[in-house]
Structure 1
């Protein structure tokens, strides 16, 4: 924890000022040296003078952490958050450890509030209740700074916390309540913030099985984006629309949204969107058309070198294993199924249900090998996992597979 003298010396050196320059006409070089070495305490008059010479507020000298320090820590935190190493939980831990020592010393102002905001979000996985308490405090701090859009973003994150803990109805209730409060505030007019809320609301409606509401919100958001030429969240909305069309087995509509997503990916040079398009087509061939030879050929047409490995690799592994099962290459399929792990950042019940299919496919592989007991064990894992998920084609597949296995047991 830095002392007053250390803060004065740090600011002086940052501004490349000599002791003589900072002492000016009101202090001696010797007295200033004593102050910097904490061997003398300046009077309030001297402190005001030093602050004026340094071009800072007196409060910055008196705070246990200077504004400059806060800005430097914030810059480091933002840099870590914006660096794509694809290890989400490790990234959060690094940011949390960076900020944590400064938390007791943060007071007010935008930079301090932003640091508390980031720290609160980092706590969402490890300490959700503490995260909610802190983020509510941060939202009030943003409101006091008249940063309504930032406060709105906090409201959205308050809904994401229960979502990450698979409390989907609670997440939706929180989001709708936060949105209601925001829409009552005439200062909340930011269209980018609205797109964030629209997308998350559609996602949460799908999560609780309110598909009609989800489709309506999704379509309204896409239309609003088109009318106002706003592209924030449009890639996610196109992905959502394509997945819904796929589950409805509407190949034309799915192709329509994937084509829009392809145009966006070219415009934004977005590798994740390109990877998703390839995955969606592969998934459709395997899951909905059972065209395994075509899926095999398609798999080899796309380079996986540039993909977000932590997110997409498990999806592609799962599809590859499904293709191999369909081609009768059961042992190869089982080996890859065993490698599939659900990514840390996957929480939506539709995504989870896709991964829960893995154990149903493992059961089918064991049936092919006449290892019925292993098939029963595997399909029971799938049933237990998917039981509380909303109805989807993936849930139907798991239950159908369960019946098939039980007939053989």
Structure 2
């Protein structure tokens, strides 16, 4: 199916060519990964972030998909950090996952975003999988394999409206999966693709777990966005894909009672934006101290010889530092709130987590976009040159923060502040 047939815009002229799936087939060459404790996970994230940052500008400019970097994440055990202890994993809490993602996103937010759905669907499996499903799929993660996603669709009434369907085959013993998904971040790189679908024509939502190399599965890199250019968040098509009963988990049931399912996902989104904001500020500081020229009035009035000594520039950096520290603090608070709710789930604790995450997400949206833009203001004209790559911070922030409207986070915070109204239960809060 072409992009036009799928209802997608035509490929932009001059864009980098589409890249095929990686040479490694799903499940090949994987070995059991190291089980990391919290300090080990954070140290590994910091180490890999330093390595990934070195190539971030060229990957963005040339649209080089990060297959190698993602393999490093998986092989190093970072994608297995939420596998429950009962199944051989470390079962690290949401706050640690958020900090791992923040550190990786500081280096390259495309690499930070791609595993988001992996962590979300490990969580879905933890909540809704049968013991047999958990044993098998958690074992896959501990062997270095990982999950993508096929959730959102283009052209439906709203973002939580889906057409993809699981229907019984003629014999009634297997299901057939049919549908087309978009924004399938992670699917191109993954071993397994969890697919959100109706069970029957109008049935409740379930997750079909299919291998990326299964017959009838097509994953196309037709993602062509302003920012987050290397997430390959394009189209996945499923045509009469055979799905056994043992590879289906309930989805709708997650939201029938108190849950942190949506809060966990949104916490990771906030971590991505927070990483972008800190990286933008760090790169702005490095540029101003090494490449920017002082403004003539600052030289004449204050007798300075470096742009970094300009009081106007220093004041701007102070404002940006304050904003970034604020969103980092809100992210940490939100992580603790999700941890607390997971340790004692109730309507009150789940709501507290949702509201804390909403605050972090609203703040990280505003701050990442503002700092990504303002860094060009303080760094000067040279900073706008494509060769410097500083524009990627704003482009990445502006693109990723469109995922969920921050205005609705403020709505739910406002309803709580005014009338103590609990937020709704769904996957986007």
Both structures adopt the same fold (TM-score exceeding 0.5): no
Larger radius of gyration: 1
Q: Name the one with the larger helix percent.
A: 1
Q: Identify which of structures 1 and 2 has the higher relative contact order when contacts are C-alpha pairs closer than 8 Å and 6+ apart.
A: 2
Q: Name the one with the larger strand percent.
A: 2
